[in-house]
Amino acid sequence: MDTDRLHEILAAHAGCKGALLPILHDIQHAFGCIDAVAEAAVAKVLNLSRAEVHGVVSFYHDFTPEADPRPCIELCRAEACQARGVEALVPAATAAAGERVRIKPVYCLGLCSVGPVARHGELLHARLDEAALVKLVQTA
Amino acid sequence: MTVVRISDDALALACGADAVAAVFAAAGWTVERVSSWGMHWLEPLAEVNGIGWGPVTPDRVAEIIEGKADDLCIGPIAAHPFITGQQRLTFARAGKTRPLSLEDYAATGGWTGLNRARGMSPAEVIEQVIASGLRGRGGAGFPAGIKWRTVAGAPGEQKYVVCNADEGDSGTFADRMLMEGDPFQLIEGMAIAAYAVGAGQGYIYVRSEYPHAIAKLRKAIDLAAGHIAPFAIEVRVGAGAYVCGEETSLLNSIEGKRGEVRAKPPLPALKGLFGCPTVVNNVLTLAAIPHILHEDGASLYDNLGIARSKGTMPIQLAGNIRHGGLYETAFGITLNRLIYEVGGGTQSGRPVKAVQVGGPLGAYIPPSQFDLPFDYEAYAAANALIGHGGVVVFDDSADMGAQARFAMEFCAAESCGKCTPCRIGSTRGVELIDRIRAGGKAGADAVEALPQMHNARKTGRTRAEEIALLEDLCETMKDASLCALGGFTPYPVLSALKHWPEDFGA
């Protein structure tokens, strides 16, 4: 872990009230994970125990202890997308993904009238059918 | 000059609005990126001189430029029945203004409410909100003005206004559309709340799944800083925890803690963020405020709606529905009208089997109850809830037993773990539904068979006994959970079991 970058992040939030989540978001974004080294550094700066920081990191789905370098397709699996048939697309998408691509279930992207929907990086994709989703996975 | 207006709402982008805009731009047209009209089946919707075409694909742009593509043309957008049937107050600007244009905002009545409020005493502002009958739009339906009065009267130097924008319910997107399409209105509403209760700092807690809304809000706050000073607003981003939509869990999250629910009392209005008196309101509640503070706004609002549900509700039509989108109307509308007349029935063309109103914690409602008026009390009396106004339609291919199981599974995954009924009950609920669907349980399992498990039943259970157990479990979750996650998960489960027993293997 690049400790200079880590300390830059910590310094950027100095004086912020309730800084823990903004700091953790920045670390997750910069390093793809929040590992033990980062947890210890955050704990020291915020005058918390490492257990407290770890408790927060492990509570939220967005924070991960290890980086996953694979491309990630976030596929909405919540009720509105279920009603529009997302579950039927999952086997083909999983097969296309294999070990190379990670298909991460998410619960609602707020596009509930044009599902099934997925996100790849910053880009959103709506009205997916099996062919479109498989293509999205293959080109991820 | 030739101008085309295309939305830059996340939903329009997901449907390919950028590619369409790029073709218009390449043809030398001026492209204005506006908010979405909320007619989602037509996105990307291109508007030229008030006439709409949708859904547009890049290869059809050339025809639209020539005034052709009649099969996509819907005529004047503002005269479309989906729009004319609505009473848009909170979404009055939808489709009409550029989200980050202060000029557009001011030209459409922006800041009028805030300026008028500043001419009154804080107590008078609160009286106006109470008189309007506005109730919290997040789901609980608590009168907004009463909450404000409590915060205003609470002792404390520092007070906060927190906007709950953690819109995690599936089938809801009104908060997202408002934040992306009309962020200044939310900011103005928060500034009025801050003036009324004496708060200096505000936070908007947005879920991380909404990056477009976060970016728009941050820009809008910078642009509007001069209008709302000395009040200041900061955007805080959630981290993928559904339970953080619960107000006390949200406050813990802003403070940098695990998003665990707090026991009430103390109420957040008295001891909220960082232990200070705090107004926590939903996006739609705060966004309704500027209109209420207009001349006669409070009485106009109070005259809309039915019984104790006053004003308008931005209803979100989602799931398997042909004409999905945002439909803001006065309280009292029936599901029959919403689903068949407005929504055009299912997208798949198959019969409607069920509708879930109010997100993952809302009851599944069968077609026989579609005459229920949209009203907090009427829904409560029917063992259902309005929640945040999301309506998710399912056709006859839905397996309601599987949906009930999903409700318990979702609760187990998202439980904050603070209270036992939610943390453990949800997992036991999944197991019970599995056993009911399998027709009961043959005998004791490996753990139950252990000699030290004195109290465990050694014989199997019939399906009827398993159902009684599930009902008992749901009763416990309803009555003993700390918050709505564990407390309301029984609604989808019991409603599915009651109305579609055949999907549970009966």
For B383-408, what is the mean pLDDT?
Answer: 96
**How many domains does chain A contain in total?**
2
**Token pair belonging to B157:** 């130097």
Residues in B closer than 8 angstroms to A80, CB to CB, are 170-171, 318-319, 390, 392
- Find the residue in B nearest to A59 (Cα): B258
CA nearest neighbour of B339 among B361, B311, B315: B315
Question: Which of B205, B392, B489 should be substituted to probe chain A, the one whose Cβ sees the most A Cβ atoms within 10 Å?
Answer: B392
Determine whether domain B305-395 maps to CATH 3.30.450.20. Answer: no
CATH number of B3-84: 3.40.30.10
Q: Whole-prediction pTM value?
A: 0.96
Mean pLDDT value across chain B: 96
Question: Is the backbone peptide bond immediately before A116 cis, with ω within 30 degrees of 0?
Answer: yes
Determine whether domain B400-504 maps to CATH 1.10.3720.10. Answer: no
Q: Which of A18, A59, A108 sits opposite B168 (nearest CB)?
A: A108
- For B341-359, b/e burial (b = at least 16 CB within 10 A) is ebbebbbbeeebbbbbbbb
Distance CA B246, CA B225 (A): 28
pLDDT score for B448: 84
* Per-domain residue ranges of chain B: 3-84, 102-303, 305-395, 400-504
Contact A38/A66 with Cβ under 8 angstroms?
no
User: Hey, are the CB atoms on A108 and B169 less than 8 Å from each other?
Assistant: yes
Residue A65 domain flag: no
pLDDT score for B1: 62
DSSP string, B229-262: TT-EEEEEE--S-GGGGSHHHHHHHHTTS--PPP
Distance CA B86, CA B253 (A): 36
Residues in B closer than 8 angstroms to A81, CB to CB, are 170
Which CATH number is correct for B102-303, 3.40.630.10, 3.40.50.11540, 3.40.50.300, 3.60.10.10? 3.40.50.11540
A107 contacts chain B (CB < 8 A):
yes
What are the tens digits of pLDDT across the range A78-88? 999 999 999 99
CA nearest neighbour of B231 among B130, B305, B159, B171: B159
**What's the gap in Å between the CA of A85 and the closest CA on chain B?**
9
For A45-73, what is the mean pLDDT?
Answer: 97
User: Hey, are the CB atoms on B324 and A125 less than 8 Å from each other?
Assistant: no
A88 contacts chain B (CB < 8 A):
no
What are the tens digits of pLDDT across the range B327-345? 999 999 999 999 999 999 9
What are the tens digits of pLDDT across the range B424-463? 999 999 999 999 999 888 888 888 889 898 888 888 889 9
Q: Which of B14, B211, B254 sits opposite A114 (nearest CB)?
A: B14
**What's the gap in Å between the CA of A21 and the closest CA on chain B?**
5
User: Hey, are the CB atoms on B236 and A63 less than 8 Å from each other?
Assistant: no
Residue A78: domain span: 72-139
Contact B402/B430 with Cβ under 8 angstroms?
no
Question: Is the backbone peptide bond immediately before B451 cis, with ω within 30 degrees of 0?
Answer: no
Residue A13 domain flag: yes
